[in-house]
Amino acid sequence: MTLLAPRLVLFILVACVGLALFEPCAGAADPSSAFLGFDRNEYPGDNNLKELHKTFAYTGYWLNNPPGAKTNTWAGKRGKLEAAGFGFLVLFNGRLYRALGPHAAELGKSDAEAAVAVARREGFPAQTIIFLDQEEGGRLLPEQKAYLFAWVDGVRQAGLRAGVYCSGIAAHEKSGASVITARDIRQNAGTRPITYWVTNDACPPSPGCAVSRRPPSPSASGVAFADVWQFAQSPRRKDVAGGCVRSYAADGNCYAPGSGSGQEFHVDLNTATSADPSHGRAREP
């Protein structure tokens, strides 16, 4: 997925120099245990799972159409992925601000019901964490918060757990205030338990398009309470990840090891505190 730019903000970019493809920046790795995974909008294909699992412990899994897509190619693939040894980052594509209006809370509730229904139909167990894809960054507006928190409440009331995918990048408003979306959500969530999957693809702290045996800890994202960190996106965001340019392929994408631009198999890279961040396996591996 590609996170949309925050409203009225500027990102502080610091260059990450001397980076080679699939080699981390010096000092980027964290010694604590972390697990490498990937996500992408299109299902990678049954024949690629064995090769991918040599590198990645888990994969993103869309419950509805990914951003900009008219279909969901992940539907019905949970069993194949679990049999191949993958854990999961279960995702539900949320609504943009312009689609909310005065009935944001009602939409959040109905979308939670839809997410839970699909998760159950796909065979995900009780207590699976579903991440709401919050594409717009910066400080959330009242309608966005109403939608998100109604969605979280609805998922939890149905017996599953709620998470949110959101920006972990410091954004600066015209007033001079600095806002990180993940912190803004956490500060306004009350007592709601929410699992945070943050994206911060600026180098540093990101190692760029780098696959390492010792992935960085999610807390190295700049959001200490993050459980998952998306540290590279395909295509590279020029306005954010300009300092990472040498780690990406010439076309701007991040390719999984063993694939190339000719195969068009690009990925987003993630690091997590668990090999199954959504706890979506129906059985232990």
| Interval 56-82: pLDDT, tens | 999 999 999 999 999 999 999 999 999
Q: H helices of 86-232, where?
A: 104-121, 142-157, 181-188
Residue 10 has pLDDT above 80, yes or no: no
Mean predicted lDDT score pLDDT of the chain:
87
Is residue 280 assigned to a domain? no
From 81-95, 107-121, 186-200, 242-256, the region with the lowest mean pLDDT: 242-256
Strand intervals (E) in the chain: 10-11, 35-39, 58-62, 87-93, 129-133, 161-167, 171-172, 178-179, 195-199, 228-232, 268-272
Is residue 171 assigned to a domain? yes
Report residue 30's pLDDT band, with 50, 70 and 90 as the boundaries: very low
pLDDT digits (tens, 9 = 90+) for 191-205: 999 999 999 999 999
Q: Is pLDDT larger for residue 123 or for residue 5?
A: 123
CB-based contact 200:212 (threshold 8 Å): no
Residue 124 has pLDDT above 50, yes or no: yes
Residue 284 has pLDDT above 90, yes or no: no
Is residue 279 assigned to a domain? no
Is residue 278 assigned to a domain? no
Is residue 86 assigned to a domain? yes
pTM of structure: 0.86
Is residue 277 assigned to a domain? no
Residue 210 has pLDDT above 70, yes or no: yes
pLDDT digits (tens, 9 = 90+) for 127-147: 999 999 999 989 999 999 999
pLDDT digits (tens, 9 = 90+) for 33-52: 899 999 999 999 999 999 99
User: What is the distance between the alpha carbons of residues 215 and 237, in angstroms, rounded to a whole number?
Assistant: 21
Question: Which range marks the domain in which residue 151 is found?
Answer: 10-272
Is residue 215 assigned to a domain? yes
Report residue 233's pLDDT band, with 50, 70 and 90 as the boundaries: very high
From 2-16, 74-88, 91-105, 126-140, the region with the lowest mean pLDDT: 2-16
Report residue 180's pLDDT band, with 50, 70 and 90 as the boundaries: very high
Report residue 261's pLDDT band, with 50, 70 and 90 as the boundaries: low
The CATH number of whichever domain residue 266 belongs to comes to 3.20.20.80
- The per-residue pLDDT for 11 is 28
Q: Reduced to 3 states, what is the DSSP secondary structure of residue 228?
A: strand
Residue 13 has pLDDT above 70, yes or no: no
- The per-residue pLDDT for 96 is 94
Number of domains comprising the chain = 1
- The per-residue pLDDT for 26 is 31
CB-based contact 136:144 (threshold 8 Å): yes
Is residue 219 assigned to a domain? yes
Report residue 282's pLDDT band, with 50, 70 and 90 as the boundaries: confident
